[in-house]
Amino acid sequence: MFRARLTGTCRAAIATGHCAVAWPWVNWALDSIQATTGKKVDLLPNLGGSIPNSAFADVLGLPTLWIPHSYGACCQHAPNGHLLGSIAREALQIMAGLFWDLGEDGADILARRP
Q: Is 111 helix (H, G, I), strand (E, B) or coil?
A: helix
- Give the model's pLDDT for residue 38: 96
- Give the model's pLDDT for residue 55: 75
- Give the model's pLDDT for residue 67: 84
- DSSP secondary structure code for residue 98 in this structure: H
Instruction: Kindly state the average pLDDT of the residues 53-67.
Output: 77
Residues in Cβ contact with 98 at an 8 Å cutoff, skipping those fewer than 6 apart: 29, 32, 33, 36, 67
7 domain-assigned: no
1 domain-assigned: no
| Residues 68-102 pLDDT 10s | 777 767 766 666 667 788 888 999 999 999 999 99
Q: Specify the number of domains making up the chain.
A: 1
69 domain-assigned: yes
pTM, full prediction: 0.72
50 domain-assigned: yes
Q: Regarding predicted confidence, which is higher, 42 or 32? A: 32
Q: Is 10 helix (H, G, I), strand (E, B) or coil?
A: coil
CA distance 82 to 80: 6
The boundaries of the domain holding residue 81 are: 18-111
88 domain-assigned: yes
Q: Which residues pair with 18 in a beta bridge?
A: 46
